[in-house]
């Protein structure tokens, strides 16, 4: 693998950047592999990378129906954080954040990781109590968290509507180590590093069936023929139910659309990620100057990667309530991605009832930050046929056994997620 460095960049600049080698190969599928990962998003590529790096399993293929990284990986709003309440989640997300902190060196790829801080606003005494509880839980588990009062928040983000009659800002919970990373670069970085360790990344190859014999997986049917595999991992995000159904599995997952928006470029306006506590709205500013923001789900089950207008209006209304100056801006781009929503809002990284078939999914709207941790834990689970302690609770059985990881406190109700 060509090592990227400042010196090499300079050398290639002198030759007009015409001689860069391909970042990863475009191999034809082999007849069989030790492991086939379905889905070339961040999670699938990270899983393949860590299978090779941590477990020495390099006879691996990632099969992707389109080009890599054009699913939710390249559609999200790039927020990275580990500010979760329950230990089942916060140890996992903190491990993921630690991997993010060393990821660029590990992959030798600039993913533009920017630990600019994530600030969750609160607007009432009861919300302050909930934020304090969350912050305490984080700190007890060794994760950074700071409870800020209104004046401290004002000093950091002066342009919020502090005296909004309905939603005055009381303060915020800050995680300074949170921030953003460039989403599609994460897919490219993992792809390049996995390829260098021998992983085959097979694009434009859709999985159409999962072949089983005697309760054991034997490979996948694809648009480029049958590919045999001792083990198969599903990492297809919004398509999880569809692909799992190919192996006869019915999952506690619904697919919903989530939208994102980018405005025209501006001079620096917000230098951290800020989330509104009185409506679903969050915002950050990209390095190019556009404000990147999003809100809640569209609320209709769909596999269409585009959103509906009522949600556009709803998200904007919440944004303007939080930061009135946004009303003067033009939105340049808007798109949607398909979310695999579990009934408790927490993910699945686990074995399945089919031997040799493993599941990574249910990421809801929070899977980007999980990318390295998810790949790392999924690789561990596939290699050892058993979970790591970080993902031990992220099973399908938890729904049958009544052990939901109800992070949002909304109960296992799809309409409340």
Residues engaged in binding ligand FAD (CB under 6 A): 38-44, 63-66, 70-73, 75-79, 206-207, 235-239, 243, 258-260, 294, 337, 363, 365-369
Q: Which is nearer to ligand FAD, 128 or 241 (CB)?
A: 241
Q: Which is nearer to ligand FAD, 33 or 170 (CB)?
A: 33
- Per-residue CA distances from 34 to 154, 361, 416 (Å): 55, 21, 40
Pair 208, 193: CB distance under 8 Å: no
Q: Which is nearer to ligand FAD, 40 or 290 (CB)?
A: 40
Q: Which is nearer to ligand FAD, 42 or 233 (CB)?
A: 42
Record the tokens describing residue 259, joined without a space.
């939208």
Q: Considering the complex, what minimum distance in angstroms separates the CB of residue 10 from ligand FAD?
A: 33
Give the side-chain half-sphere CA count within 13 A for 127. Answer: 18
Q: Considering the complex, what minimum distance in angstroms separates the CB of residue 376 from ligand FAD?
A: 14
Q: Which is nearer to ligand FAD, 41 or 170 (CB)?
A: 41
Q: Which is nearer to ligand FAD, 72 or 127 (CB)?
A: 72
Q: Considering the complex, what minimum distance in angstroms separates the CB of residue 48 from ligand FAD?
A: 11
Q: Which is nearer to ligand FAD, 128 or 235 (CB)?
A: 235
Beta strands, E only, 281-354: 282-285, 290-301, 331-342, 348-351
Q: Considering the complex, what minimum distance in angstroms separates the CB of residue 406 from ligand FAD?
A: 19
Burial class (CB in 10 A: 0-12, 13-18, 19+), 13: exposed
The values of phi and psi at residue 194, to 5°, are: -70, -45
What is the Cα–Cα distance from 339 to 141, expressed in whole angstroms? Answer: 29
Q: Considering the complex, what minimum distance in angstroms separates the CB of residue 77 from ligand FAD?
A: 4
Q: Which is nearer to ligand FAD, 157 or 243 (CB)?
A: 243
Alpha-carbon radius of gyration of the chain: 21
Q: Considering the complex, what minimum distance in angstroms separates the CB of residue 388 from ligand FAD?
A: 18
Pair 67, 204: CB distance under 8 Å: yes
Q: Which is nearer to ligand FAD, 101 or 150 (CB)?
A: 101
β-pairing, 273-275 vs 118-122, is parallel
Q: Considering the complex, what minimum distance in angstroms separates the CB of residue 7 from ligand FAD?
A: 32
Burial class (CB in 10 A: 0-12, 13-18, 19+), 15: exposed
Q: Considering the complex, what minimum distance in angstroms separates the CB of residue 239 from ligand FAD?
A: 4
What contacts 379, CB < 8 A, 6 or more positions away? 47, 48, 49, 50, 51, 54, 55, 57
Q: Considering the complex, what minimum distance in angstroms separates the CB of residue 163 from ligand FAD?
A: 29
- Per-residue CA distances from 83 to 119, 369, 380 (Å): 10, 11, 24
Pair 191, 201: CB distance under 8 Å: yes
Instruction: Please state, as a whole number, how many other Cβ atoms lie within 10 Å of the Cβ of residue 325.
Output: 12
């Amino acid at each position: 693998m060509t090592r990227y460095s400042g010196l090499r960049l300079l050398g290639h600049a002198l030759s007009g950047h015409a001689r860069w080698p391909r970042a990863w190969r475009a191999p034809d599928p082999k007849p069989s592999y030790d492991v086939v990962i379905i889905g070339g998003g961040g999670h699938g590529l990270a899983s393949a990378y860590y299978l090779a790096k941590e477990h020495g399993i390099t006879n691996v293929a990632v099969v992707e129906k389109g080009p890599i990284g054009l699913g939710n990986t390249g559609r999200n709003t790039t927020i990275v954080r580990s500010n979760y309440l329950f230990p089942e989640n916060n140890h996992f997300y903190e491990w993921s954040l630690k991997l993010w902190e060393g990821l660029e060196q590990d992959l030798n790829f600039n993913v533009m990781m920017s630990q600019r801080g994530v600030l969750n606003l609160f607007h009432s005494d009861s919300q302050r109590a909930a934020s304090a509880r969350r912050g305490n839980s984080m700190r007890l588990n060794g994760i950074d968290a700071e409870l800020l009062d209104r004046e401290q928040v004002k000093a950091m983000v002066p342009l919020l509507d502090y005296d909004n009659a309905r939603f005055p800002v009381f303060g915020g919970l800050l995680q300074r180590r949170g921030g953003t990373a460039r989403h599609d670069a994460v897919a490219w970085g993992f792809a390049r590093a996995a390829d260098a360790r021998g992983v085959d990344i097979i694009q434009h190859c859709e999985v159409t069936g999962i072949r089983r014999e005697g309760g054991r997986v034997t490979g996948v049917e694809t648009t480029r023929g049958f590919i045999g595999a001792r083990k198969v991992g599903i990492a297809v995000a919004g398509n999880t139910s569809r692909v799992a159904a190919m192996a006869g599995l019915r999952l506690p997952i619904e697919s919903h659309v989530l939208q994102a928006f980018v405005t025209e470029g501006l001079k620096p306006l917000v230098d951290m990620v800020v989330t509104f506590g009185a409506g679903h709205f969050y915002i950050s500013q990209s390095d190019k100057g556009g404000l990147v923001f999003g809100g809640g789900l569209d609320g209709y089950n769909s596999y269409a990667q585009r959103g509906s207008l009522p949600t556009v209006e709803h998200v904007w209304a919440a944004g303007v309530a939080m930061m009135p100056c946004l009303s003067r801006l033009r939105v340049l781009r808007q798109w949607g991605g398909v979310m695999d929503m579990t009934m408790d809002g927490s993910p699945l990284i686990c074995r399945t009832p089919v031997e040799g078939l493993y599941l990574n999914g249910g990421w809801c709207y929070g899977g980007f930050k999980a990318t390295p941790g998810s790949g790392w834990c999924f690789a561990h689970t596939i290699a050892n046929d058993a979970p790591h302690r970080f993902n031990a609770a992220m099973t399908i059985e938890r729904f049958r056994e009544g052990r939901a990881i109800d992070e949002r406190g909304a109960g296992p109700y799809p309409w409340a997620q």
